Amino acid sequence: MINRDRLVETFLTLCRMNTPARAEAPVADYLQARLEAIGMRCVRDAAASVTGSNTGNLIATLPATAAGAHTIFFAAHMDTVEPNPNVQIIVEDDLIRTDGSTILGADDRAGIAPLVEALETIVEQGIPHGTIQAVFTVCEEVGLLGAKALDRSLIEAPFGYVLDSSPPVGAVVSAAPSQDSFTVTITGKPAHAGAEPEKGISAIQVAAHAIERMRLGRIDPETTANIGVISGGEATNIVCPRVTMAAEARSRDPRKLAVQVQHMVDTWQASASAFGASVDVQIEHQYDAYRFAEDDPVVALALAAARKVGLPATMKEAGGGSDANVFNAMGLPTCVLGTAMTGVHTHEERALISDLCATAELVVAIVAEGAARQR
């Protein structure tokens, strides 16, 4: 069913495109040309004006051929986690990787390429289908910005799937966390570290005091917290007057997230008070959690389709967010599907060709199952 060689070539072509966040136009242009060639109607929204990208989100629509069939959308993001201008790709039997000097870009080319192949297969083989929409977002890797700026009026489908998770292909991410991010500024008092250190208040010491008392890492099976960036200080002979920190907390249970966030704020404030310093904590809510049951329609359809093509129809819970969090908050029930990407966000990133093919087959199977069940 799937054209393996064409799929691999599409994947390699996409991986060779250097499109970090805000530079996705080459991918959008390439996809629009491919999809318009099979009769899809393509539009780009105004997300560029919000995200600073050189293109908007690309939304492609394939009209239905089966009356009463489900309208479904599939989504993937066009940006990569970092630039890869000189990517050297190695294909070894079933494995695709780089020489280790850059990322591969499988996140999220492992979603895009199988989706394109599935759409071309559906059209070429005349597989009955409802209206299908393909949504390709920008700036996912820098805060899900493209999805947040998506023109909701362009989405006709009542539910959909994001192709943006690791194997096994056939797995459905049925739950993902909420996330809050912190920007923290601790202000102490400078003094000469050798002549009169007692006249100073070390912001570094305040930060260390807070970190020592803060619950971080794995809080419980659903909740994590991390301080990822600390900066401050001018010289060793100056008591540090200012420290900034970037931190986050996540949980699949919003109530647990609220408790963890308050704990972190209280700890920073208590430490600042203990030393006579001041602290400013800015909190930004990044995205909302979602959770589906096995019998929820969006999950049940994907699991049934996976079984039809012999894939392991399983459910799993994620520790990170994706465009699906944003779509769910918009009122669009959305699950994330497993794809071929492994080792993402590292130079050991790789993908199996067999998993790329399985992902394309799963998309076709979901569309076919949606047509068979009808609304």
Catalytic residue positions? 79, 140
How far is Cα 224 from Cα 220, in angstroms, rounded to an integer? 7
SS3 sequence, 70-98?
Answer: CCEEEEEECCECCCCCCCCEEEECCEEEE
Return the residue matching tokens 């079933």: 94
For 118-255, strand residue ranges (E) read: 132-137, 160-165, 171-176, 178-187, 217-220, 223-232, 242-251
| CB-based burial label for 335 (10 Å; 0-12, 13-18, 19+) | buried
Kindly give, in sequence order, each residue whose CB lies less than 8 Å from that of residue 212, ignoring residues fewer than 6 positions away.
none
Return the residue matching tokens 């009769």: 39
Contact call for residues 157 and 47 (beta carbons, < 8 A): no
Which two structure tokens, joined as six digits, stand for 335? 């699950």
